[in-house]
């Protein structure tokens, strides 16, 4: 009798542990960055979190990335595309093939500072269950980490962020395939703040970001960045702000692209955006004026307590 009771108690305890330890899916997208993604994955497999899966989408590369990953990290699932489909379409592919309660996206040219990063990110969600996204404190050649306090932010950087699966399957939806490399984070975060689900950066959870140039071209990055931001404005900006926002982007980008000697690229960007206006408008989900004011305030101020912001309605 005692043995049966002990077995039942043990089984119940196992169920409780399983329920209290949500599965986390680390997803990474890489393109011709074999050595960098190896360092990234090395920091991922060393995480001490007990319920973890890792998925890498290898946008068709010619540097042997897929073979090296399979050799060094047999526990990592690799999905290879037939061409470079872009970052956000590849993230969608990884998320759709993952099982995690939380999705942790990592840049292939970044790595975790310590083995407790995933554990601390999950703990943040368990402490503040209304959170919509939690991101890491980033350090790198062009990024200065926070020093003392966690803060609420208007937008994350995709490759350093943990997001509940429900964001993609129920609350917001997947990243629009119109975004090749940029603006997916803006699309998600604006919707989360509109839903009253805060976005937070944890100062103690650190990642290093190389911002490497391998597999990238300056011209393509500028093209993809501006094009995606134009389309995101069409999807998210309130009607009364849309024309001023687009006009501002038009003028500022013109001067910038001329300074970069990419004037013809600037023309190509706006022509491409114009062709994709119907697709962007079909996914239009504008934010409210109160959310827009909140986002402006979060850009300007260091906010560690949302109760200090009148625009935030919990």
Structure confidence at residue 44 (pLDDT): 98
Protein fold of 2-209: Spore Coat Polysaccharide Biosynthesis Protein SpsA; Chain A (3.90.550)
pLDDT band at 18 (very low <50, low <70, confident <90, very high): very low
Structure tokens at 281: 């408008």
Q: Give the residue-averaged pLDDT of 204-223.
A: 85
By three-state DSSP, how is residue 137 classified? strand
What are the backbone angles phi and psi of residue 227, rounded to the nearest 5°?
Answer: -60, -45
Q: Give the residue-averaged pLDDT of 46-65.
A: 93
Structure confidence at residue 14 (pLDDT): 44
Task: Say how many C-beta atoms besides its own lie within 10 A of residue 302's C-beta.
Answer: 11
Please spell the DSSP secondary structure of 12-35, one letter per residue.
Answer: HHHHHHHHHS--EEEEEEESS-HH
Residue that has been written with the tokens 């979190």 in this structure? 49
Q: Strand runs (DSSP E) across the chain, as ranges?
A: 24-30, 52-58, 77-80, 102-107, 110-112, 133-139, 151-152, 160-164, 199-209
The DSSP bridge partners found for residue 26 are 54, 104
Structure tokens at 274: 């114009």
Tell me the pLDDT tens digit for each residue of 265-310: 999 999 999 999 999 999 999 999 999 999 999 999 999 888 887 6
pLDDT band at 6 (very low <50, low <70, confident <90, very high): very low
pLDDT band at 17 (very low <50, low <70, confident <90, very high): very low
The CA-based angle 13-19-203, given to 5 degrees, is: 120
Task: Say how many C-beta atoms besides its own lie within 10 A of residue 37's C-beta.
Answer: 28
By three-state DSSP, how is residue 40 classified? helix
Structure confidence at residue 225 (pLDDT): 92
Q: Using CA atoms, how far apart are residues 234 and 281, in angstroms rounded to an integer?
A: 6
Secondary structure tally for the chain: helices H, strands E: 12, 9
Q: Phi/psi zone of residue 261: left (φ > 0), alpha (ψ -120 to 50 degrees), beta?
A: left
CB 232 within 8 Å of CB 277: no
Q: Give the residue-averaged pLDDT of 180-209.
A: 94
Give the residue, 142 or 76, on which the prediction is more confident.
76
Q: Give the residue-averaged pLDDT of 201-224.
A: 86
Average pLDDT score, the chain = 90
Q: Residue 8 pLDDT more than 80?
A: no
Q: Using CA atoms, how far apart are residues 199 and 12, in angstroms rounded to an integer?
A: 35
Q: Give the residue-averaged pLDDT of 105-133.
A: 96
Task: Say how many C-beta atoms besides its own lie within 10 A of residue 206's C-beta.
Answer: 18
The DSSP bridge partners found for residue 250 are none
Tell me the pLDDT tens digit for each residue of 153-176: 999 998 999 999 999 999 999 999
Residue that has been written with the tokens 């980033």 in this structure? 138
Tell me the pLDDT tens digit for each residue of 57-96: 999 878 889 999 999 999 999 999 999 898 999 999 999 9
Per domain, the residue ranges of the chain are 2-209, 218-282
Q: Residue 246 pLDDT more than 90?
A: yes
Structure confidence at residue 308 (pLDDT): 83
């Amino acid at each position: 009798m005692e043995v049966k009771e002990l077995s039942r108690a043990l089984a119940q305890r196992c169920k409780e542990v399983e329920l209290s330890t949500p599965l986390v899916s680390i997803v990474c997208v890489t393109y011709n960055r074999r050595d960098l993604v190896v360092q990234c994955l090395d920091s991922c497999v060393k995480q001490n979190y007990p319920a973890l899966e890792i998925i890498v989408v290898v946008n068709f590369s010619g540097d042997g990335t897929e073979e090296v990953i399979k050799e060094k990290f047999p526990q990592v699932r690799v999905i290879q595309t037939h061409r470079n489909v872009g970052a956000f379409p590849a993230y969608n592919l990884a998320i759709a093939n993952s099982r995690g309660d939380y999705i942790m996206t990592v840049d292939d040219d970044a790595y975790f500072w310590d083995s407790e990063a995933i554990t601390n990110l999950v703990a943040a969600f368990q402490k503040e269950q209304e959170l919509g996204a939690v991101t890491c404190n980033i350090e790198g050649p062009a990024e200065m980490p926070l020093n003392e306090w966690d803060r609420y932010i208007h937008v994350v950087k995709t490759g350093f962020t943990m997001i509940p699966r429900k964001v993609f399957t129920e609350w917001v939806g997947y990243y629009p395939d119109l975004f090749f490399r940029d603006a997916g984070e803006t699309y998600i975060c604006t919707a989360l703040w509109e839903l009253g689900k805060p976005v937070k950066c944890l100062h103690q959870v650190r990642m290093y970001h190389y911002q490497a140039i391998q597999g990238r071209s300056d011209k393509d990055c500028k093209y993809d960045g501006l094009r995606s931001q134009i389309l995101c404005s069409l999807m998210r900006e309130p009607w009364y702000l849309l024309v001023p926002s687009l006009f501002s982007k038009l003028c500022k980008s013109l001067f910038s692209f001329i300074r970069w000697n990419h004037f013809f690229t600037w023309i190509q960007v706006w022509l491409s955006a114009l062709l994709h206006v119907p697709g962007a408008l079909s996914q239009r989900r504008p934010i409210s004026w109160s959310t827009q004011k909140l986002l402006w305030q979060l850009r300007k101020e260091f906010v560690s307590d949302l109760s200090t912001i009148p625009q935030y309605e919990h």
